[in-house]
Amino acid sequence: MVSFETALIENSISELMLVPKSDIHTHGGKGGRIKYFAEWANTSIEASEQPFEDLIDMQNWFNSNIKIHDNSIVGYLKRVEAKRVEAAFAQAKEDNIVVLALSFGIGVIDDLGGIDKFISTLNYLNKTFAPETKYYPELSFSREDDVNEACDRLDEILSKNWFKSIDICGNELTKPIKNFQKIYRKAQGYGVKLKAHVGVYGK
Ligand SMILES: [Zn+2]
Ligand 1 geometric centre to CA of 28 (Å): 10
- Distance, in Å, from the CA atom of 12 to the CA atom of 182, rounded to the nearest integer, reads 45
Ligand 1 geometric centre to CA of 52 (Å): 15
pLDDT tens per residue across span 47-68? 898 999 988 899 899 988 888 8
> Does residue 33 surpass a pLDDT of 80?
yes
Ligand 1 geometric centre to CA of 30 (Å): 10
Contact 163, 130 (CB under 8 A): no
Ligand 1 geometric centre to CA of 169 (Å): 6
* pLDDT on residue 72: 64
- Distance, in Å, from the CA atom of 170 to the CA atom of 199, rounded to the nearest integer, reads 10
Percent of the chain with pLDDT over 70: 97
Please tell me the pTM assigned to this model: 0.90
> Does residue 71 surpass a pLDDT of 80?
no
Ligand 1 geometric centre to CA of 27 (Å): 6
141 exposure class (CB count in 10 Å sphere: 0-12, 13-18, 19+): buried
Helix axes 181-189, 147-158, angle to 10 degrees: 10
In 35-186, at which residue ranges do the beta strands (DSSP E only) sit?
97-105, 134-135, 138-142, 165-169
Q: How confident is the model at residue 171 (pLDDT cuts 50, 70, 90)?
A: confident
Ligand 1 geometric centre to CA of 197 (Å): 7
Ligand 1 geometric centre to CA of 24 (Å): 10
> Does residue 70 surpass a pLDDT of 80?
no
Percent of the chain with pLDDT over 90: 70
C-alpha radius of gyration, the chain, whole number? 18
* pLDDT on residue 203: 59
* pLDDT on residue 74: 65
Q: With residue 27 as reference, give the H or E element that holds it.
A: strand 21-27
Ligand 1 geometric centre to CA of 58 (Å): 12
Ligand 1 geometric centre to CA of 95 (Å): 19
Ligand 1 geometric centre to CA of 140 (Å): 9
Name the least confident of 28-37, 101-110, 147-156: 28-37
* pLDDT on residue 185: 97
